[in-house]
Amino acid sequence: MSEKMRGISSLFQNQALKNINLIQVTVTSTEAFHCKFPQGGFLFPIKGRAQLTIDEETTTYLTSSYVQHIKSGSYLHLFSLDQVDFEFILLSYTFGNSTLSPDECIPNTFHLKLAEAKKTHMMLKQLMEKITSSHHYHTLTLELEMRKLLNTALKQSDTSEQQLLDAVCSYLKKHLSSPITLNELAAYFNKKPAQLSHLFYKNLGIRPIEYLIRQRLEKATELLKQGDSVQLAASKVGYDDALYFSRLYKKYYLIRPSEVKDYHREVC
């Protein structure tokens, strides 16, 4: 990866990502697509080929092997180059907790060959399905999923790093109810705690235990919606102290877990 792209990848891992949204668009072979892009974002071609003109200045050609980054406020003009529909997914975002706008942090537009096109497209579709199927898909989880997606698209991690990261994430998801410390986790994977912590922060922007907390709270939300009491949901995700769990839940989600349970009971 070039120094330029390494810097862009690092930026997306270290900045808070807000207002994340995905939409899938189909442009038929007999029409053109025009729009003003309000936020910065990525255009991922899924099917077909197209010509894209940005702000009546920059023209590029889109295929499913590439991704196009677009700056906020850009005017897009796009049409299919073949006698088939052109399909793409727009992933838009804004940077949070930053004094800089995305346009000041990264190049206005750039066109990249995807490191793993098939895997990237699969992750995009899975993320869209999750968002569509859940009206309460939490911002923290969405931000984490976007980081994983960009890791794959921009190829920030080497293969061995990504395999280790996937293995640790899978292990944590399977052991949500178990008491886990960073030292124990690192020892299990034969790594130093600092190495494992750096791996997570480099790729996901958070530390391993923070990842575990988020996964626990997401699982607890599912359990509460299914009818579990706060005490039971807390114990199933590794918190014996329901009061501590409630304080932690409110810190992350700004509502008490009992409110999730009450709301779900009312709407059902």
User: What are the structural domains of the chain?
Assistant: 3-115 (2.60.120.10), 157-267 (1.10.10.60)
Q: How far is CA 122 from CA 7, 44, 160, in A?
A: 25, 12, 21
Q: Provide the 3-class DSSP secondary structure of residue 40.
A: strand
* 121 touches 80 (CB < 8 A): no
Residue 14's pLDDT is 66
pLDDT score at 94: 80
Residue 245: per-residue pLDDT: 96
Give the whole-angstrom CA distance, residue 119 versus residue 138: 23
Mean pLDDT (10-residue bins), the chain, 268 residues: 58 72 89 86 91 84 87 88 89 70 57 82 86 64 79 65 84 92 91 92 84 91 92 96 95 88 52
pLDDT digits (tens, 9 = 90+) for 158-198: 557 778 888 899 899 899 999 999 999 998 888 999 999 99
Residue with tokens 């009312």: 266
CA pair distance 39, 20, nearest whole angstrom: 10
Nearest of 113, 27, 32, 117 to residue 69 by alpha carbon = 113
35 membership: H or E segment, kind and range: strand 32-37
Q: What is the torsion angle, in degrees rounded to the nearest 10, for the CA atoms of residue 182, residue 188, residue 191 and residue 196?
A: -40
* pLDDT for residue 266: 47
Tell whether the torsion through CA atoms of 44, 40, 22 and 203 is positive or negative.
positive
DSSP 79-124: EESSSS-EEEEEEEEEEES-SS-HHHHS-S-EEEE-SSHHHHHHHH
d(CA 229, CA 260): 11
The side-by-side arrangement of strands in the sheet containing 58-62 is 32-37, 74-80, 50-54, 58-62
What pLDDT score does 268 carry? 39
According to the model, what pLDDT value does residue 159 have? 58
- For residue 44, the model assigns a pLDDT of 94
Burial label for 191, CB within 10 Å (0-12, 13-18, 19+), is middle
**CB 46, CB 68: distance < 8 Å:** no
254: left (phi over 0), alpha (psi -120 to 50) or beta: left
185 closest CA partner among 174, 196, 173, 200? 196
Alpha-carbon 189 to chain mean position: 25
pLDDT 10s digits, 70-105: 888 889 999 888 888 999 999 888 877 555 554 455
